[in-house]
Chain A
Amino acid sequence: MSLKLLWIQCGGCGGDTWSFFNAASPNVIELFNFFEIELLWHPTISMNSQNSLVSITEAVTSGACELDVLCIEGSILRGPGGTGRYDEIHGKPKKDLVASLASRARHVLAIGTCASYGGIGANTEIEATGLQFLKEEKGGFLGEAFKSGSEQPVINLPGCPCHCDVIAGALAAIVSGAQLKLDKYNTPEEWYGMMVHQGCTRNEYHEYRVEERKFGEKGCMFFHLGCHGPLVRGPCNKVLWNDRSSKTRVGVPCFGCTRPDFPQQYPFFQTRNIEGIPIELPEGISRAHYMAYKGMAAAAAPKRLKTRKTGI
């Protein structure tokens, strides 16, 4: 039996769609074929004109057409003043279309941080919100009590953009009927149960507190350059990007783009600290122990790390 999928783009950049196209094995086409996914509509890929979205929407809302998976990319724009006029489709607020489709869908996936938590534009004049969260707060556009046809909340797949393996994996789980175990932000533990820095090639530098203050070096970026790798959940350094690398591996700090508060309100590329130790420490760590550990680690750092003589 084929799975009917509908993909709507709201207040976003289209980056999750293109990230999905990064998938190589299987790629998007192979994935749809393997799992017999029938794409009812996607704004960028579909041959059908936008007018056919109107008839598809009518068929879904009247119950004539079953909707197995609704993918929402981008935030729900409620501005100005709750009218939704900053994002319209066919002369009507797009948020209304999302609400009516979500009420008929068996599964609803929030693809990316904007759809999950509001992301770029949350708490600004455009009144952006995620589907079931606004930043850390439950509720969002559809409300805390919302359940899709499968009795599940919106499954959040954050990331800016969301990694292609996460999108593909979530669809695969739905097809096979596997229950994804969700954490408190309704993200699947499969991909959000690990820290971004797990697997980072700079981990040895991190371990011995060999920390960088300027760009273009090989050491760790956690203490001074604003890296969120040890603080934020995500599979970037396990699954890698474009099958090749990750931001932290090449020397770009992790900006915590999977976290509900992304984008952070304090400056990027700087670590907020107290006496040289980051204000925010990895989950569950006592500050006193961490300071003692980091002091000893720095003292134990081997010369080859202090002189950056490693081939990473």
Chain B
Amino acid sequence: MTQKKIHFYPLNRVEGDLEVRIQVEDNVVSDAWSAGIMYRGFENLLIGRAVLDGLVLTPRICGICSTSHLKAAAKALDMFYNVKLPNNAIRIRNVTLMAEKIQNDFRHAFMLFMVDFTNPVYRRHSLFDEAVRRYQPLSGETTVQTIAETQKMLEIIAILGGQWPHSSFMVPGGVVCVPSSNDLTQCLFLMRNFRKWYEHRVLGCKIERWADVKSAAGLDDWLHEAESHAQSDLGFYIRFAQEAGLKEIGKSYGNFISFGSLDLPDDTKVKRPGKSSQFISPGFYHNLKLATFDQNKITEDVSHAWFDDSNGGRHPFDGDTRPYATGKESGKYSWAKAPRYDQRPAETGPLAEMVVASDPLIMDFIKNGGPSVFVRQLARLIRSAHLIPVVEQWLEETVGCNEDFYQDHRKKENGEGYGLLEAPRGALGHWVKIKDAKIQKYQIITPTAWNASPRDASGFRGPCEEAIVGTEIKDPDNPVEVDHIIRSFDPCLVCTVHSVNI
């Protein structure tokens, strides 16, 4: 007879509070529920406030991606005011957003995700001792370096934006700073120093060599090509993951969404990918096909979230937030809403960005075996190889450009706008309606709302829940497989649960 048991599994080492319930039958997860367990209801703070106030309040939603919220808020107001940004403003906004993404990827990888490799469950793994040496919290060799190195990215944001986290240096029309050429050169030094660390410690090779890795076979060749590759943190990750079976867990739906990000300035040497006017393309990938992205197809479902659901799933411009604490009996179980694209759940993040961009290495894994913990985390470790050279290029272009950083605009009292971009964890959107020069409605959908969403009215689980179901658990009291799957999405619950429809 099968034994069915529900395990209540609160999770730390994620941003914010996440509790997952898993139902285990014969050591296999047969169902899962992921729940945001905090509600901060920003909506009353913003409704009725002045047009620019979102630039101060929304970055405070999240302590690790405040620059992303700032940029989304500023973009929504660019659209509202219909103001065209000077090229320098576009570059500075992009550089700071990318710096924030880069710091996040390594803090997540080496301080949150890889720490699970030191879980006693892996005592018999041949690389266990080395994992402890590298990733032990507060003492591991890579951990110690990560704390010091990621600070460089935040120094860049501080030079251009005053401080990290929680600045408000982006405003409709551009940025408030007027960096001197010395400020920009300092940023460039910091980036080049960071590149050195990334190449030496994380990749074990030059970014240019890494860029030649275009298939799973190519990855294998790269791993065995040099000792520095095998010993780098990326090489170690690949070796550890192989033995731990991370390619076999965390599949989920294979639906991916990217909102697109990093508008290209008019005059830049950075190459336009395909037809997109952005360096990171928007798109929705489903059934092994890429579809054009249309923000009108986004809805938020609250059938299983603690909000009044009498109005059904709605586009963010039409949605509302009425908390409805019913307890567990109503089928509602989370403070996170369930965003859907074209009625479908979709995962977002570095992996989704690379799938939508048809990255050849990533697509080889997606087409042969499908998504997994392995490829999801791989994408996060290699994303910086795409970003770093572009940050350097845009900084160089700004040093030599005497144009403005801010474009003033005409006063306006009524209208709407939205700002979409790719934050560290994926698709982030702010939607704002302005009436009589006051905020009438403000809605935010965060990356983790996509990934860690609860079920919707059609019964579709959230992508993270779906990824857990079917997983074989070796030790139900210490289900490290579930840890890996959840953390491979880099959940940020402080964002999600606060921001449900600001």
Contacts and interface: CB of A to CB of B under 8 A. Distances in A.
Interface of A: 9, 11-19, 21-22, 24, 27-29, 32, 39, 43-51, 53, 77, 80, 83, 85-91, 120-121, 124-126, 128, 160-161, 214-218, 236, 240-252, 255, 257, 263, 267-270, 311
B496 to A, nearest CB: 12
Chain A, interface SS category: loop
B137 A311 contact: no
Contacts of A85: 325
Given A13-B63, A46-B12, A247-B167, 9 more contacts: A13-B60, A14-B62, A14-B64, A29-B147, A49-B10, A50-B10, A215-B406, A218-B178, A250-B159
Contacts of B171: 215, 269
A227 to B, nearest CB: 12
- What are the 9 closest A-B residue pairs judged by CB atoms, nearest first? A15-B63, A216-B406, A241-B163, A267-B50, A242-B158, A247-B162, A14-B63, A50-B10, A251-B176
19 contacts: A11-B40, A14-B64, A29-B139, A44-B13, A44-B15, A50-B12, A77-B39, A87-B39, A88-B38, A121-B41, A125-B323, A128-B40, A236-B163, A243-B158, A247-B167, A247-B168, A251-B162, A269-B56, A269-B171
A242 B12 contact: no
Contacts of A88: 17, 37-38
A56 to B, nearest CB: 12
B102 interface: no
Nearest to A73: B63
Given A45-B111, A216-B174, A160 B166 contact: yes
B60 A242 contact: no
A39 B164 contact: no
B147 A28 contact: yes
Contacts of B11: 49-50
Given A13-B498, A46-B12, A244-B158, A124 B180 contact: no
B164 A22 contact: yes
Contacts of B174: 215-216
A268 B63 contact: no
Contacts of B143: 29
A77 B178 contact: no
B112 interface: yes
A287 B136 CA distance: 58
A244 to B, nearest CB: 4
A268 B56 contact: yes
B57 A263 contact: yes
Interface string B59-75: 01111101000000000
B157 interface: yes
A263 B494 contact: no
Contact of A125 (B41, B111, B118): B41
Contacts of B45: 120-121, 124, 263
Contacts of B406: 214-216
Contacts of B177: 216, 250-251
A267 B45 CA distance: 12
Given A125-B41, A311-B180, A252 B162 contact: yes
B38 A249 contact: no
A46 B162 contact: no
Interface string B142-169: 0110011001001101111111111111
Contacts of B163: 236, 241-242, 245-247
